[in-house]
Structure 1
Amino acid sequence: MATAVLDSSGTAHPLATWSNTDAAPGFTLRTFDLSAYAGQTVTLRFSGTEDFSLQTSFVIDDASLSTS
C-alpha cells in the first residue's frame, strides 16, 4: 500500500509505503505533514497491489485534513 500526494501537474510525491510485513493487530493512526502543499490544489492517492498467492488487506477507515 502506498500513500502519495499528486501536485497540480500530476507528479506523485510519496508519503509512505507499507507491505504485509508491517502488519498491526488493529487500526493504526498515521499522520502526515502536508504543510509544504499549503495553498495548492492536490490529490491524495492511496494505492495497493497484491497477487493471488499473497493476499494482503489494507483498510482505510477515516481520512481527514486539518489546518493548524
Structure 2
Amino acid sequence: MFAKTLLLLLGIGIGAYAVFCFKRGMVYMKGYTASREKNPGGFYLSLIIYLLFALVLIFFGIFGKVQG
C-alpha cells in the first residue's frame, strides 16, 4: 500500500511540475534548460517526457500489483 501511494504522489508531483513549467515557459531537464521561445522543440519534448513519466507512475500506482 505504501509503494502504491508513493507512486501516486510522485506521479502527481511530476505532473504538477510539468504544468508549472508549461505556464512558466521554461523547463529544466538533465542539465539542459529549454525555453519555449528559444528552443520550442526541446521544450515540448521535455514536457512530453515529464508528462508520460507522470502518467506511467500514476498508472502503476493505481493498477500495479504489490508483492508481499
TM-score scaled by structure 2?
0.27
TM-score scaled by structure 1?
0.27
User: Which structure carries more helix by proportion?
Assistant: 2
User: Which structure carries more strand by proportion?
Assistant: 1
Higher relative contact order, structure no. (Cα contacts within 8 Å, ≥ 6 residues apart): 2
